[in-house]
A and B are shown apart, each in its own frame.
Chain A
Amino acid sequence: MSDNNDTTTANEVPKTQWGPILKDMFILVCVMATLGYLCKLAMVPFEHTSPTDSLVSIIRKGAVTNGKDETFIKEMNLGMSMVENFVNYPDNTGRTPLMWAAYCNFNNTQEALSKDISRLYYVRSLLATPGIDAKATDRDGFTALHWAAWSGMPYTAVLLADAGLDINQKDSNGYTPLMLAAMRGNEKVVSLLLSLGADAAAVNKDGKTACNLAVENEAAYSKREAKILAWTGIPGLRDFNPYELIYAPARESSYIGTVKAFDAAPAAVSIDDLKREMETAENKAEAEAAKAAAEGE
């Protein structure tokens, strides 16, 4: 019975005319492609492009295997052969690939440290490139060391300091790398710079020292349970503080350590300590990568 019904229905449905349907679809695809292409064309005059864009994207992605990144090497060689002064080529904000390698933006200082370790290969490679201008500044006067200090990348800062970057260089608003590290509560970078003799008395355009910035920002960053309690009168609200989402306990303790670092004499961390730590961290990361690769196989 049901078979009969099916046959009847099949007879009633007219044969599909695929030609006109496909023709319409083709027209739509053409319209869409033209529209997309026109939009792209309109975008070109306003777009920022730099020959180092690809190199920077490789650095940011960070895919080092067995101690090197073939894609990075290839891109670097290609760029060097095609563009003069490729390794120092600035982008629209004046940043060179080295500055990009010395930058990350994490709330959690531990994440920044992990990123720091994964970037060491690139920083070393760039610093070893003939003709590199490690002391280059971007449009606001930031050096790679400023970027590393703000980002909380102490190992990169060690390499940059070794490369001869001025640890007291000021940007156009008077900020030194020490001030940037202090305002972000990057304890290790602060200790490193202090141990290298950074000028803790230098002031920015607002007349603030690195220590002032550290104290101010530590107070602002920490959740300050007492203040919340006084303000709301509700005990235990700290756990429901919406800032939990942008709060990292590691950064709070790093802020506290930063403020203390300004009082400590001599500096709590020396450059040699950091170099040893960097070596251990790199070895550990390599061992973990090898283990993961072996497990994968």
Chain B
Amino acid sequence: MSSSTTKPNPLVKYFSEFGVLKDCGKNFWLTNFIQFFDGLSYFTLIIVFTLFLNKYCGFKDADAPYWVGMYTLFISMFVFAVGTICDIIGLRRTYLIGFILLIGGRVILGMGTDFGTEICGLSQDSSRYFVMAGISIMSFGTAFMSPCISTSIRRFTTLRSRPTGFNFYYLFMNIGALLAGFAIVDPLLAWQGDVDGLLWVINFGTCCNVIAFIFTRFIDDDFYAVPEEKLNRKETAARRPLQLIGEVAREKAFQKLIVFLLLTLGVRLVFTLQFLIMPQYYTRTIGDDFQLGFMNSINPFIIITGLILIIPILNKFSTVKLMISGMSISACSLVLMAVPPQWYFIVPGIETIGQAYFVAIFLQIVIFASGELLFSPRFSEYVARVAPKDKVASYMSLSALPMFIAKPVNGVVGGLLVSYLCFDGIAAKMDTGHISFWQSPEFMWTIYLCMALISPIAIILTKDSFVSDHPEEDAAKDTAAEEAAKATEEKTAEA
């Protein structure tokens, strides 16, 4: 058999692409180590954040998801604000500011409650303000990381190695997310207990940030893998954060994109539930010693496997079809948690409510992650394709706008739903038949299921108006039509 007819092993093919990274110097690898430790710190935090605020800091059921929602909102908003600063003040200085804020914020977050109550003699309620301050400062620091690391990867890779450099960065980030769950969160919680263990997880993250910070000190600020790019800095130097909105708000392609983003909001909000609500749902229905980290490792495991084995195969399918399929799969996965656990008793081997919840959660995570695997890469690709070629970066940044509004709303709704329908102690009441469907976590998931299903249905219904299989052509047509209209207006004015 000739070599041309032999199908290459996807695993070998995927990793052989990384060969090109040998072109990249020490700065690229340092950036990946920074990203790895920063990612480890972020993912360990996000897995336990709601529980930490609730159990360790004494935030109420409704407040904990609200503050996690606010934290993610702060990050998105600050990323938007500081995105261009990196190019202006330089990498090392941006890393310095970012890590000082991040480490400082984390220290305040970790020590805030105890410092307030034990050292300042404040009440439990008042000491929470320290924690809130810690969250705000930490989010500002976290916001520096993402643009800074992306800029570093771009700067330290050649044009040839750049796409692979970003693939490697994405893979490394997911490996961090995978390890954060089963290798760090679970052992720390098992060792230090369900409450003190949470503080240990936060402190572990702070140590990771310190390590990442040390790595940043070895980065060469003046190095550019493509020296010509150094000369192009003046284009980015003068950019204002809100300038972007003014530039594109009136464009028809952008308006269509915003409608599209609003339509997908339902399912994208469900993505955030993984850390807003799920930790409380898991521990309250199954037990405080449930292996939370392991469950959170399933998602990155599927993403990593998918990146290597499935995504290359999926490239031949239509973007819109894949997005709709992905959204539908992710949304429908919630059905598993929306049905009463007793329904699972028809399956051989499932005989207790705990076992039913476990199976429901496990299957939901697997199915949801599979849907996400189809949806997320296509979603970013679609946003990039809708944008006029010279405005891809602006469109990509602004695509986060609808989520700004959605994040705090989701935090509030999630918190309230948890406090009503998944309160601590609900397992005892379910065991004794005191909880009807309308008072149960299943009702909470039914609400989210309805919200999530709106997205694929809306996309299918509006497929011809707002979504297209050929967004580039549509965008070009819209731009041409706008220019023609402008020219006609000018002519009329002249006449």
Contact = CB atoms under 8 A, between A and B. Distances in A.
Interface of A: 6, 9, 12-14, 16-17, 20-21, 24-25, 27-29, 31-32, 35-36, 39-40, 42-43, 46-49, 53-54, 57-58, 60-62, 70-71, 74-75, 78, 92-93, 95, 103-108, 111, 114, 140, 142, 146-147, 150-151, 171-173, 175, 180, 183-184, 204-205, 217, 219-221, 227-228, 231, 242-243, 245-246, 248
B286 A47 contact: no
Contacts of A42: 412
A183 B408 contact: no
Interface stretch (B38-46, B93-101, B152-160, B348-356): B348-356
B289 A6 contact: no
Interface stretch (B66-74, B164-172, B389-397): B66-74
Given A32-B73, A78-B123, A108-B289, A40 B412 contact: yes
Which of A39, A140, A227 neighbours the largest number of chain B CB atoms within 10 Å of its CB?
A: A39
Where chain B touches its partner, the secondary structure class is helix
28 contacts: A6-B222, A12-B231, A17-B238, A24-B81, A24-B242, A27-B242, A28-B241, A29-B77, A29-B81, A31-B77, A32-B73, A36-B73, A53-B60, A54-B123, A71-B117, A92-B423, A95-B425, A105-B283, A106-B288, A107-B290, A111-B288, A114-B193, A140-B434, A171-B434, A220-B355, A221-B352, A242-B362, A245-B291
Given A71-B117, A219-B351, A245 B290 contact: yes
B427 interface: yes
Contacts of A78: 123
Contacts, number: 187
Interface in B190-244: 193-195, 222, 230-231, 233-234, 237-238, 240-243
A39 B408 CA distance: 7
Contacts of B55: 57, 60-61
Where chain A touches its partner, the secondary structure class is helix
A62 B412 CA distance: 28
B58 A245 contact: no
A242 B286 CA distance: 14
B352 A107 contact: no
Given A142-B428, A172-B434, A173-B434, A13 B408 contact: no
B405 interface: yes
Interface in B21-69: 55-58, 60-62, 66
B80 interface: yes
B287 A39 contact: no
A245 B294 contact: yes
Contacts of B73: 32, 35-36
Contacts of B80: 28
Given A71-B124, A246-B287, 14 more contacts: A14-B237, A24-B241, A29-B81, A35-B73, A43-B66, A48-B61, A54-B123, A92-B423, A103-B428, A171-B434, A220-B351, A221-B351, A243-B358, A246-B354
Contacts of B289: 106-108, 111, 248
A54 B425 contact: no
A231 B294 contact: no
Contacts of B195: 60-62
A55 to B, nearest CB: 8
A53 B54 CA distance: 11
Contacts of B355: 220, 243, 246
A48 B431 contact: no
Given A61-B58, A105-B288, A228-B349, A20 B240 contact: yes
Nearest to A48: B419
Contacts of B294: 245
Contact of B432 (A36, A71, A173, A231): A173
Closest 5 A/B residue pairs (Cβ): A57-B58, A220-B351, A54-B124, A107-B287, A39-B408
B408 A106 contact: no
A61 B113 CA distance: 11
Interface of B: 55-58, 60-62, 66, 70, 73-74, 77-78, 80-82, 84-85, 88, 117-118, 121, 123-125, 193-195, 222, 230-231, 233-234, 237-238, 240-243, 283-284, 286-291, 294, 348-349, 351-352, 354-355, 358-359, 362, 404-405, 408-409, 411-412, 415-416, 419-420, 423-425, 427-429, 431-434
Contacts of A29: 77, 81
Nearest to A19: B240
B412 A75 contact: no
B234 A13 contact: yes
Given A21-B241, A173-B432, A58 B358 contact: no
Contacts of A13: 233-234, 237
B412 A246 contact: no
B286 A140 contact: no
B81 A25 contact: yes
A36 B70 contact: yes
A243 B237 CA distance: 56
A107 B286 contact: yes
A181 B1 CA distance: 69
A58 B124 contact: yes
B85 A35 contact: no
Given A54-B125, A57-B58, A140 B432 contact: yes
Contact of A32 (B74, B194, B237): B74
Contacts of B412: 39-40, 42-43
A180 B424 CA distance: 17
Contact of B428 (A70, A150, A220, A227): A150
B286 A104 contact: no
A268 to B, nearest CB: 24
Contact of A16 (B88, B243, B427): B88
Which of B243, B288, B423 neighbours the largest number of chain A CB atoms within 10 Å of its CB?
A: B288
